């Protein structure tokens, strides 16, 4: 079965998604400074990092495609560099031919591919696996697309939409196997584990949970673990080692010389800027569980309840008007309140319906599997506090479970209850699309020099 073939029923969904995201991508790109498309030997880190500012998302893929500088953590995203390197070669060739930097356009095409297929995979889950009627499947697909930081992740030059694409693909394949009562072949698990963990390490754990849910206890045999866990990890380690020695070590030597030169030329200016940044970040982040490696990335003091209300189930789903899409590392406070009571009312309705759907669908294997995935994110972000202050930018790793849970509730409901559920979910979908799109468009049409920054 070719999962990338777009079937006749899906073509209009793919087209609508393409047109919608093309508009958003074009608004973002057209608002960039002219320096974003200048070619040649330039200081691309300064060009992009000093101008790009969309919430807490990074623009390192732009830098990577422009001059092969690596500013993201390859230890946590070992395959991200491998994905971007061929695109760097393409951009480098086009820059040589035309004298312009096409990084923003090439990344936009990558985002569009991942986004459209993420939407199609979700639609197929609703339509083929849960067997919802066309209108309901389209409604929940639109709800998924209307979620704030799904929409935002689909246009920013970060790795999250690639992660979303791989997770929704894994979810769809697993759903088909659960429905057909078939098992993963070991090579399929190995490939999925390699690519999902290669883009984001924690997603590899979700793939292994998927294999356990689909294949059952027999997956835990020594042969299965060796071929689907240790072999892919060994390959990833090899990829990381190669990339580190070939690309990162020489780069670190160059960056060290640049930093030393800047310190000598602009020592007072750099020190003042860093002091302001450090003071702001210190005042807007919590204290870690420990200063030991890895544990120093945790957060023990950030309030969990307020995090859930304003960020996890707040900003992730519907954007705040205040400090709209500002970056916590620069000007956004840790918690921003909504301006209207109805924002909290919508959030409460979604959370209550989500919780009820999880309970009602507790015996649906696919939903149970997603709940296990969600538990990983809750432990990682809420319990340990990894990335808790900007938990909303990690939404693409888990938030698809909300429309999936509501769709499962629709699947399990009788016809009388489906009418009421269809009305409520349609209202939620329309609201999310209108609210988040209007705010996102207002941000994208704000000149970059008007966006608050230090």
- As a three-state string, the secondary structure of the chain is CCCCCCCHHHHHHHHHHHHHHHHHHHHHHHCCCHHHHECCCCCHHHHHHCCCCCCCCCCHHHHHHHHCCCCCCCCCCCCHHHHHHHHHHHHHHHHHHHCECCHHHHHHHHHHHHHHHHHHHHHHHHHHHCCCCHHHHHHHHHHHHHCHHHHCCCCCCCCHHHHHHHHHHHHHHHHHHHHHCCCCCHHHHHHHHHHHHHHCHHHHHHHHHHHHHHHHHHHHCHHHHHHHHHHHHHHHHHHHHHHHHHHHHHHHHHHHHHHHHHHHHHHHHHHHHHHHHHHHHHHCCCCCCCCCCCHHHCCCCCCHHHHHHHHHHHHCCCCCCCCCCCCCCCCCCCCCCCCCHHHHHHHHHHHHHHHHHHHHCCCCHHHHHHHHHHHHHHHHHHHCCCCHHHHHHHHHHCCCHHHHHHHHHHHHCCHHHHHHHHHHHHHHHHHHHHHHHHHHHHHHCCCHHHCCCC
Report d(CA 140, CA 370) in Å as an integer.
16
Q: How far apart are CA 150 and CA 14, in angstroms?
A: 16
pLDDT of residue 263: 63
* 8 Å CB contact between 367 and 339: no
pLDDT of residue 345: 97
Its sign, for the CA torsion 290, 291, 297, 299, is positive
Closest alpha carbon to 49 in 263, 273, 240, 261: 273
Reading the block at residue 157, the tokens are: 């030059």
Q: For residue 236, what are the contacts with CB-CB under 8 A and spacing of at least 6?
A: 78, 79, 194, 197, 198
User: Which residues lie closer than 8 Å to 189 by C-beta, 6 or more apart?
Assistant: 207, 208, 211, 215, 219, 224, 228
**CB half-sphere exposure, 233, CA atoms < 13 A:** 11
Q: What are phi and psi of 363, to 5 degrees?
A: -95, 0
Q: Give pLDDT tens digits along the chain (454 positions).
A: 589 999 999 999 999 999 999 999 999 999 898 899 998 888 898 899 888 889 989 999 999 999 999 988 888 899 999 999 999 999 999 999 999 999 999 999 999 999 999 999 999 999 999 999 999 999 999 999 999 999 999 999 999 999 999 999 999 999 999 999 999 999 999 999 999 999 999 999 999 999 999 999 999 999 999 999 999 999 999 999 999 999 988 888 777 776 666 666 666 665 665 666 666 666 667 777 666 666 677 888 889 999 999 999 999 999 999 999 998 888 899 999 999 999 999 999 999 999 999 999 999 999 999 999 999 999 999 999 998 999 999 999 999 999 999 999 999 999 889 999 999 999 999 999 999 999 999 999 987 767 766 5
How would you label 44-73 residue by residue, b for 16+ Cβ within 10 Å and e otherwise?
bbebbbebbbbbbbbbbbbbbbbbbbbebe
In sequence order, the 6+-apart residues with CB closer than 8 A to the CB of 262 are 270
- The answer to whether 142 and 429 are in contact (CB under 8 A) is yes
Tally of residues, the chain: 454
Both tokens of residue 254?
Answer: 């160059």
The whole-angstrom separation of Cα 320 and Cα 357 is 26
Task: Answer whether 283's CB lies under 8 Å from 328's CB.
Answer: no
């Amino acid at each position: 079965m070719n999962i990338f073939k777009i079937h006749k029923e899906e073509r209009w969904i793919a087209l609508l998604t393409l047109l919608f995201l093309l508009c958003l991508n074009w608004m973002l790109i057209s608002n960039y400074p002219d320096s974003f498309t200048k070619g040649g030997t330039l200081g691309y880190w300064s060009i992009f990092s000093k101008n790009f500012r969309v919430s807490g998302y990074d623009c390192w893929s732009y830098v990577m495609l422009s001059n092969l500088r690596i500013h993201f953590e390859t230890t946590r995203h070992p395959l991200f560099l491998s994905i971007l390197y061929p695109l760097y070669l393409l951009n480098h060739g086009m820059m040589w031919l035309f004298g312009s930097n096409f990084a923003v356009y090439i990344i936009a095409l990558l985002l569009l591919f991942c986004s459209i297929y993420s939407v199609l995979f979700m639609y197929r889950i609703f339509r083929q696996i849960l067997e919802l009627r066309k209108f309901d499947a389209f409604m929940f697909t639109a709800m998924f697309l209307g979620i704030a930081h799904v929409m935002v992740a689909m246009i920013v030059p970060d790795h999250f939409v690639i992660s979303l694409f791989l997770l929704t693909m894994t979810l769809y394949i697993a759903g088909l196997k659960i429905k057909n009562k078939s098992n993963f072949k070991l090579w399929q698990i190995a490939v999925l584990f390699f690519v999902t963990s290669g883009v984001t390490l924690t997603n590899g754990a979700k793939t292994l949970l998927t294999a356990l849910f689909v294949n059952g206890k027999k997956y835990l045999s020594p042969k299965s673990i060796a071929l689907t866990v240790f072999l892919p990890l060994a390959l990833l380690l090899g990829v990381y080692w190669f990339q580190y020695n070939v690309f990162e070590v020489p780069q670190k030597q160059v960056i060290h010389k640049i930093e030393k030169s800047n310190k000598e030329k602009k020592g007072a200016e750099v020190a003042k800027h860093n002091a302001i940044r450090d003071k702001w970040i210190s005042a807007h982040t919590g204290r870690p569980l420990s200063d030991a490696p890895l544990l120093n990335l945790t957060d023990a003091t950030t309030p969990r309840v307020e995090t859930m209300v304003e960020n996890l189930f707040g900003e992730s789903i519907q954007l705040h008007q205040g400090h709209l899409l500002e970056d916590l590392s620069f000007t956004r406070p840790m918690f921003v309140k909504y301006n209207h009571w109805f924002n909290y009312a919508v959030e409460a309705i979604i959370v209550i319906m989500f919780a009820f759907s999880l309970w009602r669908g507790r015996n649906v294997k696919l939903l149970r599997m997603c709940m296990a995935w969600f538990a990983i994110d809750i432990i990682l972000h809420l319990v340990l506090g990894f990335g808790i202050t900007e938990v909303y930018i990690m939404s693409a790793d888990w938030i698809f479970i909300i429309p999936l849970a509501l769709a499962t509730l629709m699947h399990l409901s009788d016809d009388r209850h489906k009418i009421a559920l269809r009305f409520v979910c349609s209202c939620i979908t329309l609201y999310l699309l209108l609210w988040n799109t209007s705010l996102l468009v207002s941000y994208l049409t704000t000149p970059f020099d008007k966006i608050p920054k230090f």
